[in-house]
Structures are given as structure tokens and as C-alpha cells.
Chain A
Amino acid sequence: MEANAEVQVPTRKPDNRNRTSLLRKFYGQRYLQVMALLGVAWMLLFHYAPMYGIVIAFKEYIGIGEIKNAPWAGWGHFQAIFEDEMMLKVIRNTLGISLLKLIIGFPIPILFALFLNELRSLRFNRIVQTITYLPHFLSWVILGGILISWLSDVGVVNDVLMGLGLIKEPIFYLSEPQYFWGIVIASDIWKEFGWSAIIYIAAIASISPELYEAATIDGAGRFQRMRYVTVPCIKGTISILFILSVGSILNSNFDQILVLKNQVNESMSSVIDIYVYEIGIKQGRFSYSAAVGLVKGVIALFLLLLANSFSKRMNQSSLF
């Protein structure tokens, strides 16, 4: 590590000699520097440069010509957000879907991991894992396609329900807004519960068997071992993941909802990300939709920081 030795040279030398040694060192690692700087260049070009475009939220930009020539609009677009009637619905849908997903969807992988752990056959355990991870790798286009065909008036769901005599007329599930949240939440759980359980499965696997043996000797039954050994041991994992999902509550599942939404169920399916996309790209209201996107971004960042500091205080474990 010759280069490291150089760093420790006392820095009391005259300034220009210091600079030449820095330059020499830089030249000595020129290959490394080029490799790193290519990454920096990518970040500047594809990550930092587009941020300049955020200024259109404060301008009247209609999509043609250069952004810098567009007239300033001040806070006009942000004020417009408060007068936009659609915004109320959009916020309600975003929070409603996310909160329900959290309340219903969060405990399921934990329960699944707990019961999976109780299986006596390790081989069967593996098989169940392999099967339940699979939907995670399929795209929402495919799963959305299956859902749309199943939920149509001549689809599987209506066929089965009518066959059982539970309903008399076929229901157009995706055309009736009141079913939309349920469909989105259920299908999301179906796709991800197995995959989300992985972290818990790993956490449970790392619990020392001695704890269970001790509990058994003390006369603990099945559920007592689950309740007093397994759950306390994975508590830390649970709380970190919970905080993480609270922090990202404004991110509804864009890929999923874009496939499942249509004009008829719009009142229940329009969430912030979808709204930004539709008014921005489809209707060409660039400036207004950039303002909505910016507000969402700022609130989301704030939520994440809040969640992180909360996590730090709760159990000394944080993301950053």
C-alpha cells in the first residue's frame, strides 16, 4: 500500500509542494480515477442534471422550446394544488391504499414465516418457499392480464360465484370503483407475501435452537414457543421493516395500478404517481404536474427521515 504511506506525510509543507504531491498521487491512480469519474459523469448526466427541470414547477412551461426561456409563475402551480378538486381524491386513494396494504399486508408474511417454521419436513418447507416466491418475479403486466381476464364479466370469478349460486348477475369488478382497493390490495399481497417473508425466515433460522429447547423443558407448548421465543427474537427485524414501509407510504405501486386502472374506476384508482403521469405526459400540463411531483417528493423524503430517526430512538438501528 505505497499510496497509503503517502497520505501520512506531514501536511506542514508549503502549499504548492502539497499540491504537486496531490497531483502526482492523482496521476499515479489515474486509471482508478477515470473509472470512478465515469460513474460520477453518469450521475451528473442522468441523475443530477434532470433535477434542473424541477424549476418548471415555478414556470409556465408548455413543453416546447427551452425551459430557461419560459416565463416565471412563482408559487402559482402550488396554489393551484389546493384548489384542484381531483387532488383530494388522489391523496385519499394514495393514503387509503397504502395504509390498508400496510395494515393487512404487513402481518401476513410474518405469520407465514412463523407457520412455515413449524413445518416438520424441511424439504416440504423448501418446496413451499420455492412456490410462494415465484409470483414476485412475474411482471405486473402478466399478473394484471390474468386479473383482468379473471375479473371480467365472463371470467373465472364470476363463473365460480355464479356456479355456487352466490350471485345471480355477473359483476364487472374492474368497472365498479368500490372493488378497486380490494383488488389492488389482495393481488399485491398474493404477489409479494412469500417474497416478503424471506427476511423473517432468515431471521428465524438464526435463532439458537437452545432457546426452544429451554422453553420446551419449561413446559412451553407450540404457540407459547412461537409467542415467547420466535416473536421476541425477530422483533428488531419486524420494527425496521415496519418503519421502512411507513416511510414509503406515498409510493403506491405504480406498475400495478397503471395496469389495473381504467376510466371507469378512476375515482378510486387515481393515486399521486398515476395522477402526475396522466396530467403531465398525457395532458401535457408539464409545469403543474412537476409541482405535484415536487410536493410529493419533499413530503416523502420528510417521512423517510422521520421514520429513520424514530427507528434510531426505538432500537438503536437505523437505515443511515
Chain B
Amino acid sequence: MFTRDRRTRGDVLFDRLNVVMMLIICFVTLYPIWYVLVNSFNDGTDAMTRGLIYWIPRKFSLENYEIVFSNAGIMTAMGVTVAKTLIGTVIHVFFTAMVAYALSRRELLFRKGYMIMGTITLFFSAPLIPNYLWLRDLGLLDTFGVYIYPAMFSFFDLIIFLTFFREIPDGLEEAAKIDGANDFSIFVRIVLPVSLPVVATISLFHGVWQWNDYFVGVLYTNSDSLQPIQTFLYRVIAQSSSNQIVGATGGAINRTVTSQSIKLATMVITTVPIIVAYPFLQRYFVKGLMIGSLKG
């Protein structure tokens, strides 16, 4: 932060201890993730019979992954997750930004009423059961739409968009208006393109949520063809319904995989997209968090 001219012996000791402590913290944070990665690349039966593997694969094997990638159930679940993340995020961001843009215009009639209505949604919402019954009555249970429609709008995200849209100079919109553009096309053609940072932030927020969420799948879907990968993993891990995984091994006893090693490989491929997106996540999430906290 700033230069300290006189470093006493105590200071030097403190600095060293501090670095060591931080290194330990980093190790504790990363090691569990490393452990999963190492074990997913190791022969499953080897891990089971010869004890745990801590540092690097003892008997390298790609078979866990071969089985995961050739398993129709896991691949369907992966497909559901990819689809709901992409579609859900695009719709959520476009819809929320659109409403936010309308509410950012001060001349909008009844603006205050709309804002109050939205603010209330931050503090009251229907409890779990009434919500479940309502989605059931709407016919959304066990449909792909249950991942998309109930999540396509969030007033919290709207506030973040709103804060950003207020900063856009009016001149841009005025010029388009003189050219005869309507408000919707101003939003699509002018406002959205100049708002890329906030669009990226909200997309990542929502994308990570969609990717990681397992509870919507647990609660609202029954059929295997509709469960996202996280829900699949939840059922396998927490409810130990290992039949799904045993089914995945194809009953092949002479193979070198175990249900545990397949679980680990599935966990890794579920996490890879998050790790790949992580540099962006870190950048934009921190930014988004700041906007959100300034607001709050």
C-alpha cells in the first residue's frame, strides 16, 4: 500500500508469518478441489483397494470420464443445465433490463407505483408451499419452463440496471428519438450496446445461479429427462440413490471404475465451466457487488 522506511525486526517477522498464514489459507482453500481432480483421473478400483490418493494420480486413468461422457443420463442432465443456463440468462437479462430501462425514464407515468410494487417484492414473497401450489396450477411442474419463467425477472437486478442506465447521457437517446425511433428500439439499439459492463455483470450473476441451482430441479421436476446436472448430482450424492450411478457403469464389473470415481468425474465436468468463466466472474462480480452495495 505504502512504503515503510523503517522495518524493525518485529515487522519482518510479522511479514513472514503473514505470508505463511496466507499460503496456508490458500492451500486449505484449493486442496479439496485439487483432491477431487486428482482422484477423478485415477483408477477407481485402485483408489478403493490401495488407500486414498492425496497428491497426484497413482494409476492414471481416463475411464471415469469415458463412462461419464458415454452415459446418456448424465449427458442429458448436462444438456438441460447448458440449455437452462443459456436460455434462462438471455431471457432474464433482456427482460429485466427492458423493464429497468422503462423505469429509468423519469417521464414514465405511474413510475412511482411500479417502483413501490417492485420494492415490495424484495421483502415479501410467498412461502415455499403456496409458491409450489401456484406453479402447479399454472401447469409449470415438470416442464422446462419452470427453470425459465419464474426466474426471468428480479427487482434486485433491476435496481443495478437502473443505477447504470441513469448514467447514460440523455443526448444519445434524444438523437435517436429525432430520427423517429421508438422507445423499444432505442433500448435495443442504443441503450443495451452501451451498457455492456452491467449486462455482463448481471449475465454472470444469473448464469452462475442457473448453473449451480439444484433445488428448482428437486422441487419442481420428476422426470429424469428434465433434471439438470446439479439435481442429478444432488440425488446421487445426498440421497445416495446410487442406482443412477451404478446404472451409469453399465453393470460392468470388470471395469476399473467405482461409483465414487464416477461421481468425482461428474463433479469435475460440472465445475469446469465455472472455472473457465472464473476470471470474468471475478472481475464482473466484484464490480456488481460494489454497485449493489452502493445502492444498499
Q: Which residues of A contact B (CB under 8 A)?
A: 1, 3-4, 7, 22, 25-26, 29, 31-36, 38-40, 42-43, 45-47, 49-54, 56, 63, 67, 112, 115-120, 124, 127-128, 130-135, 137-146, 148-150, 154-156, 159, 190, 194, 198-199, 202, 209, 212-213, 216, 221-222, 254-255, 258-262, 273, 276-277, 280-281, 286, 289-290, 293-294, 296-297, 301, 304, 319-320
Contact = CB atoms under 8 A, between A and B. Distances in A.
Contact of B127 (A31, A297, A319, A320): A297
A280 B215 contact: no
Given A33-B108, A148-B238, A194-B29, A50 B153 contact: no
A134 B114 contact: no
Nearest to A115: B18
A127 B102 CA distance: 41
Given A119-B19, A145-B237, A276 B150 contact: no
Contacts of B211: 139
Contacts of B32: 143, 146, 150
B28 A53 contact: no
Contacts, number: 250
Interface string B271-296: 10010001001100110011001001
Given A50-B126, A132-B25, A139 B214 contact: yes
A273 B138 CA distance: 24
B132 interface: yes
Nearest to B232: A141
Given A35-B101, A280-B129, A258 B281 contact: no
B260 interface: yes
Given A198-B289, A319-B296, A134 B130 contact: no
B131 A50 contact: yes
B244 interface: no
Interface residues of B, number: 96
B167 interface: no
B267 A46 contact: no
Given A43-B153, A46-B149, A280-B128, A139 B230 contact: yes
Interface in B154-182: 155, 158, 170, 182
B117 A54 contact: no
A140 B231 CA distance: 11
Enumerate the 9 nearest inter-chain pairs by beta-carbon distance, A residue then B residue, closest first: A53-B130, A39-B99, A293-B127, A139-B212, A50-B126, A50-B134, A3-B107, A36-B102, A31-B183
A36 B127 contact: no
B127 A276 contact: yes
A138 B37 CA distance: 14
A297 B54 CA distance: 45
Contacts of B21: 115
Contacts of B278: 134, 137
16 contacts: A29-B105, A39-B118, A40-B114, A42-B152, A45-B138, A51-B126, A53-B126, A118-B15, A138-B33, A142-B267, A146-B267, A149-B260, A149-B263, A254-B215, A280-B128, A281-B132
Interface string B90-133: 00000110110111011111110010011101011111111111
Nearest to A149: B260
Contacts of A7: 107
Given A47-B126, A133-B282, A141-B230, A120 B15 contact: yes
Given A35-B99, A144-B238, A281-B219, A56 B114 contact: no
B128 A277 contact: yes
A45 B151 CA distance: 12
A130 B15 CA distance: 20
A4 B107 contact: yes
Given A141-B214, A141-B237, A222-B14, A297 B153 contact: no
B84 to A, nearest CB: 14
A302 to B, nearest CB: 11
Nearest to B14: A222
Contacts of B14: 118, 222
A110 to B, nearest CB: 15
Contact of A38 (B99, B108, B218): B99
